[in-house]
Amino acid sequence: MNAMQRVLTSLSQQEPDRVPYFLLLTLHGAKELGLGIEEYFSKGENVYEGQIRLQKKYGHDCYYSFFYAPIEVEAFGAEVIYSEDGPPNSGTPFLRKDTIASLTTPDAQNSPVLQKVYEATRLLKVDAKDEIPIIGVVMSPFSLPVMQMGFEAYLDLIYNDRALFEKLMEVNIEFCSNFANAQLEAGATAITYFDPISSPTIIPKELYLETGFKVAQKTISQIKGPTATHFASSNVAPIMANLPQTGTAVVGVSTFEDLGELKSLAKQKLTLLGNLNAIEMRHWSIEETKQAVKEAIKKGAKGGGFILAENHGEIPYAIKDETLLAIKEAIEAYGYYPIKN
């Protein structure tokens, strides 16, 4: 099987030739090209070349066209802060409660900063030849305001001013769906919908059902391709039964929850993506890495419906090549079906 066939088989809750695995690498592309992080993300062709090299090196089953989370608030005109050994971060929040009413949706299709994403995606599409999935990314309209407003101000808005909250969601839903669809038009196979604020780690389930759940339903219904919902290492078990109703097909799961229990909760309605601990991975030996992969496969892989990955959605810059190669070796050793205990 090629990577696309392997992933689609697992998504259909059947067993492919081996467990598909996604190494969601972004910053490592800069290492491969010998570039600083800011320079690397300055051109779509850099990210394209980085993804090509990384996939050839580690043999994983996807290209990842994600640049960095604050590229979306950058499209709104906000500041982005670069570091030498970590992902770019959003700067000072640009939005206040008294400016939400006048907020307008950026033109995602023609945004100069987002053109880099589309360029990388178009170039990857040529190489992929429909044999390797290209995974695009959007921040959910419900989670994006943490970068737009700041965490405290946004939580205050959710709890204390639903009218302004709805106005902000209206703008963000339009932007998110347009950005997602532009990536799909450029050649992305599927869209990862990052939504950590919806996790019960962050807000109560009852509040999620009133807010983030409805936002997800509305947004995902407007995205013209398959979606995976990712909670960026936050817990999902209490809302697992609700997620299929949003229209998503895949859920990124946390290392802090038992993978076997999550597989049971998914009830063949969702494919699990996860759940290696990318923070602890910085210190794993080769044997510890292989054991973690073996354990995840044992708990999650039988019957399909599972893609091995780390649990946050972006592998840290500090993770060594040797560790990533050990994941590849463990997949080769333990990941072929039928899975053995």
- Residue ranges per domain, the chain? 3-334
Which stretches within 59-161 are classed as H helix? 71-75, 115-128, 145-149, 151-160
Average pLDDT (93-103) is 97
At 340 the pLDDT is 84
Beta bridge mates, 139: 194
- pTM reported for the whole predicted model: 0.97
Percent of the chain with pLDDT over 70: 100
Cβ atoms of 279 and 287 within 8 Å: the answer is no
Give the integer Cα–Cα distance in Å for 11 and 268. Answer: 9
Task: Give 229-291 as a DSSP string.
Answer: EE-TT---GGGGGGGGGGT-SEEE--TTS-HHHHHHHHTTSSEEEEEE-TTGGGG--HHHHHH
Q: Is 132 helix (H, G, I), strand (E, B) or coil?
A: coil
Distance CA 134, CA 148 (A): 27
CATH topology of domain 3-334: TIM Barrel (3.20.20)
Task: Give the pLDDT confidence of 38-87 residue by residue, as tens digits.
Answer: 999 999 999 999 999 999 999 999 999 999 999 999 999 999 999 999 99
